[in-house]
Amino acid sequence: MMNERNHYHNEKMETLPQRELAAIQEKRFREILQYSYDNSVFYKKSLDRLGLKPEDVRSIRDLQDAKFFTTKDDLRLSYPFGMLAVPREKVVEMHATSGTTGTPALGLHTEKDLRDWGEVAARSLVMSGLTSKDVFQITPSLGMFSGGFGFYHGARAVGCTIVPASAGFSKRQIQFMLDFGTTMFSAIVSYAFRLAEVAAEMGIDPAKDTKVRKGIFGSEIWTKGMKQKVSELWDMEPFDVYGFTELCGPGVGNDCSMHDGLHMWQDYYLIEVVDPKTGEPLGAEEEGELVFTTLTKEAMPLIRYRSRDVSKLLDSPPACECGRTHRKYREIRARVDDMLKISGVNFWPSEVETVLLKEKDLGPEYRIHVYTENSVDRVRISVESRQKVLGESERSKLAGKLANDLHDVLLFKPEVEIVAPNSLPRVEVGKAVRVVDERKKTSLQP
């Protein structure tokens, strides 16, 4: 399927034979381990504690055997500059996770790190259809959150016209789209829906009245059903981008026009999948936690960093039909910490979303509410009906059907209520809150 999307930002590196990529990884892995040991107090101490010298480590397997990991807690305990491998004055830009669950984790970058981030983000943007002729609107926040700047550094490397609108002010976002002829935008997934709602309130149909036909989305877990809805609302082909602050931000990997997994940039990251409970490495097609080793980071290298994101390496042919050779991973299905446990049963919020979005009369907004009644865990799922308001009896019939469908998937029967369109709270800036767990008195979404 050759079309204008099948072009590259860096053809040579994006189509390098797998054997050559593996050789680059091996060489860079040994270099980054030595560099981290020599320059980071944290890594010197951690490796010394295990009696490991970088020169004795032949491959990642030696670190697997030693159960060596870096965790988010290590980053928090080292806050703010304990993980640095360069003098502080070499750091030119910094980002932070939201920190709603405690001390934030930081992403720290030298000038070279920013160029590398721009390179991977540009490859991902071009994979999503961005060209130098586009007007590209950035709707994630340009601030401590790494989302906005990742798209910015990438778009600078591509050389398009950038509209750095940043987060919020939805009416103004739509006005900019109309005034500047925006052809592509980047967003947190749920914001693509919010923008379409605001456009509708302004009497504008995003699919017909704007020039936006391309979109790149990240930061939230989303199902195929959600993608279908975004694509209908905006008349576009949505692309998935992956990344997180501690590595850089968006750009670590991206799905191509085949839409069957995300190519992750192997010349920058060595990626493993491990059992989240035991830490044991898993093989292709086995679902587990993604673990990243940065192969080129100067300011804050990370060795075997546990991402808490659940995915799997696809057992796909060495070269994708899009021409890229970098290994593909399944779209992120869940975060380890988002798993809900209800009376001994475990489930992911995305399993609920998949069932809800099969119903064409239901809108994309929903809320999973977990609470305790008489010492028993209960789950209530509220989901909005679409524009046409359903009658009382239709609503209760549909709610009953959904409760049964969810029972089959979750193995317990939740309460389901169908609520009016636009009645659930919306998030203007940041990630949607779809799970409210009263048992913990906190939201599970960071």
Least separation, in Å, of the C-beta of 320 and Zn ion? 3
Number of Cβ atoms within 10 Å of the Cβ of 161: 15
Cβ closer to Zn ion: 322 or 355? 322
Cβ closer to Zn ion: 297 or 324? 324
Q: What is the token pair recorded at 69?
A: 């990991």
Least separation, in Å, of the C-beta of 285 and Zn ion? 18
**Nearest in space to 249 (alpha carbons), one of 337, 128, 156, 117:** 117
- CA 343, 345, 347 angle in degrees (round to 5)? 125
Binding mask 299-328 for Zn ion (x = CB under 5 A): ---------------------x-x-x----
Cβ closer to Zn ion: 131 or 175? 131
- Write out the binding residues for Zn ion, residues 350-379 only, by CB under 5 A: none
Q: Using DSSP bridges, classify how beta strands 340-342 and 334-335 pair: parallel, antiparallel or unpaired.
A: unpaired
Measure the CA–CA gap between 398 and 404, rounded to whole angstroms.
10
- Write out the binding residues for Zn ion, residues 223-282 only, by CB under 5 A: 256, 258
Cβ closer to Zn ion: 46 or 124? 124
Least separation, in Å, of the C-beta of 219 and Zn ion? 22
The reply to whether omega before 238 is within 30° of 0 (cis) is no
Cβ closer to Zn ion: 264 or 334? 264
Cβ closer to Zn ion: 16 or 444? 16
Q: What is the token pair recorded at 85?
A: 């491998």
Least separation, in Å, of the C-beta of 127 and Zn ion? 8
Q: What is the token pair recorded at 386?
A: 């679409």
Ramachandran angles phi, psi of 135, nearest 5°: -105, 115
Binding mask 374-413 for Zn ion (x = CB under 5 A): ----------------------------------------
Least separation, in Å, of the C-beta of 327 and Zn ion? 11
Ramachandran angles phi, psi of 251, nearest 5°: 130, -10
Ramachandran angles phi, psi of 367, nearest 5°: -140, 130
Residue with tokens 């032949």: 58
Asked if 216 touches Zn ion (CB under 5 A), the answer is no
- Say if residues 113 and 70 touch (Cβ distance below 8 Å): no
Number of Cβ atoms within 10 Å of the Cβ of 130: 26
Total chain residues near Zn ion (CB under 5 A): 5
Binding mask 167-206 for Zn ion (x = CB under 5 A): ----------------------------------------
User: How close are the terminal C-alpha atoms of the chain, in Å?
Assistant: 39
Q: What is the token pair recorded at 160?
A: 């398009």
Least separation, in Å, of the C-beta of 312 and Zn ion? 17
Least separation, in Å, of the C-beta of 131 and Zn ion? 18
Cβ closer to Zn ion: 102 or 317? 317
- Say if residues 165 and 428 touch (Cβ distance below 8 Å): no
Cβ closer to Zn ion: 258 or 339? 258
Least separation, in Å, of the C-beta of 270 and Zn ion? 20
Residues near Zn ion (CB under 5 A): 256, 258, 320, 322, 324
